[in-house]
Amino acid sequence: VDTLQAGLWADIYNVEQRPLNPAEAVSFVEAPGNGAAVVFIGSVRNRNQGRDVVGVSYDVFEPLAKKSFVDICEEARRQWSPELRMCIVHAKGRLDVGGISVIIAAASPHRDEAFKACRYAIEEIKLRSAVWKQEHYTDGDSEWLQGHALCGHSHD
């Protein structure tokens, strides 16, 4: 999968070595013809399902996760505008509360396409991308979160 192509960048950063950088994502999607850029920044919350969270570890299967990011961007372009420029970068490794886990940037000539593409990308990542979250709590306990089962094979 070509994860860095014209107008499309999909990446995974090991955040223990290199934090996610919103400015970098925005600068990738900017272009003279684009009058709108929308950025979604996902970060670690201090509370989830009634428990006090101190951090989250992200496990990623990179080949498939990157491929899903590229697929999602291409789908957004087909659906809304071939002129969309998009960037998806996801964290791998452990983050403390407030740490950035995902950045999605979308830019297009007009705002509507950029808003829709950005929203589409985050919702699809949650359903389709090979990423797993382990929460760490103030009491020292840790738990892998229940997520969305991938469709694809199994009972054919």
Partner 1 sequence: MKVTVQLHGAFKQLGDQIELTLAYGTRVADLQELFMKTVEKCNPELYKQGWLRASRFCDDTRILRASQPLNDGQRLIILPPVSGG
**For binding to partner 1 (CB under 8 A), which residues are involved?**
42, 58-61, 63-65, 67, 90, 101-102, 122, 125-134, 144-150, 152-156
Which residues neighbour 52 within 8 Å (Cβ) at sequence distance 6 or greater? 46, 137, 138, 139
Token pair belonging to 83: 């002129």
Closer Cβ to partner 1, 139 or 156, answer by number: 156
Q: Are 93 and 58 in contact (CB under 8 A)?
A: yes
Closer Cβ to partner 1, 17 or 154, answer by number: 154
Closer Cβ to partner 1, 6 or 149, answer by number: 149
Q: In 3D, which of 48, 11, 17 has the Cα closest to residue 142?
A: 48
**Smallest gap, in angstroms, from Cβ of residue 83 to partner 1?**
26
* DSSP bridge partners of 124: none
**Smallest gap, in angstroms, from Cβ of residue 66 to partner 1?**
11
**Smallest gap, in angstroms, from Cβ of residue 102 to partner 1?**
6
Backbone dihedral angles phi then psi of residue 130, each to the nearest 5 degrees:
-75, 75
Closer Cβ to partner 1, 51 or 110, answer by number: 51
